[in-house]
Amino acid sequence: MPSARDLTANIPWRIKIGAKLVLSRLPLDYGFWQRVGWFRLGDMDNPEYAFAVVKRHFERASASRNYEGLVALEVGPGDSVCSAMIAFAFGVRATVLVDTGRFARQDSEAYRAMAVYLEERGFAVPRLEETTTMEDVLRSCHAQYLTGGLASLRALQKESVHFVWSHHVLEHIKRCEFVDVMREVRRILRPDGVCSHSVDLKDNLSDALNNLRFSERVWESPFMARSGFYTNRLRYSEMRDIFRRTGFEVDVIEVARWDELPTPREKMSDEFRRFSDEDLLVSEFDVILRPE
């Protein structure tokens, strides 16, 4: 069955943004939109996809060390807590999942499927036959699920985490909170700790840069920011600069670029026209961060 993303791929971005502005105002909870495929926060409830993503980040950041005994933290787990199950299977001591709301699936179906997937590949996982809630899954994996965003990060102890990672999440952190989030990540990271982040700089409308058409006043308004397509619009150079200013050594290990600007420069809001083509052409990048 095609995904909601596939079904809407050819819909013009203006129609998408209008539809989401209207639909996000309906009195329906996130669980409803999750079930019908709109406003989804990733695909981490898909066992094969989730395993590949988590494995990739762990291998990139921890290739030279044993996972056993580590405390790992994921920023923005999205639609599931499957990453905690995978981390447990890898041998980590504890996992902390931090999000800005309670978006993860509450039913146990996805987590049982994840357990089967891991068992079939020879990993030791908790028995989930009698599990009925997400909280049961979290307990079995020695995991915490915190949904206060920046406040949750601030509540964690200094230098208490070995490994922090995120996948297509940093670009969704509110622009006004981004620096504070990175400062908190630096504070909770151990001196020998490491971060792995995959960042998607495309818009959430048509995989282009149509989000750069809007002025900051319009884009950052609550009306737009709460409509399911928000990105902070920080560009590649800006993110790297913030990483350095908040106390990290920055190692960009992979960069994807468009061959040409997907949205004409003359259509962009004035504040984005100042960026070079080289900067605007970056569509995705992967970065490893370590404490300076």
Instruction: Determine the pLDDT at residue 62.
Output: 72
Instruction: Determine the pLDDT at residue 16.
Output: 66
Q: Which residues pair with 85 in a beta bridge?
A: none
Q: How far apart are CA 84 and CA 72, in angstroms?
A: 9
**Could you tell me the residue range of the domain that residue 259 belongs to?**
4-40+57-72+86-96+138-291
Q: Does residue 128 fall inside a structural domain?
A: no
Q: Does residue 235 fall inside a structural domain?
A: yes
- pLDDT tens-digit map of 202-236: 998 889 999 999 999 999 998 887 777 899 999 99
Closest CA relative to residue 71, chosen from 155, 3, 157 = 157
- pLDDT tens-digit map of 134-174: 999 999 999 999 999 999 999 999 999 999 999 999 999 99
Q: Does residue 150 fall inside a structural domain?
A: yes
Instruction: Determine the pLDDT at residue 17.
Output: 66
Q: How far apart are CA 88 and CA 124, in angstroms?
A: 8
Q: How far apart are CA 77 and CA 96, in angstroms?
A: 10
Q: Does residue 278 fall inside a structural domain?
A: yes
Its pTM stands at: 0.87
How many independent structural domains does the chain possess?
A: 1
Rg (CA), the chain: 19
Q: Report the chain's mean pLDDT, rounded to a whole number.
A: 88
Q: Does residue 132 fall inside a structural domain?
A: no
pLDDT less than 70: residues of the chain? 1-10, 12-42, 63-65
Parallel/antiparallel/unpaired status of strands 282-291 and 189-200:
antiparallel
For 116, the token pair is 């089967």
Give just the sign of the alpha carbon dihedral 58, 248, 43, 138.
positive
Which CATH number characterizes residue 218's domain?
3.40.50
Q: Does residue 92 fall inside a structural domain?
A: yes
Instruction: Determine the pLDDT at residue 124.
Output: 85
Q: Does residue 211 fall inside a structural domain?
A: yes
Q: Does residue 78 fall inside a structural domain?
A: no
Instruction: Determine the pLDDT at residue 107.
Output: 84
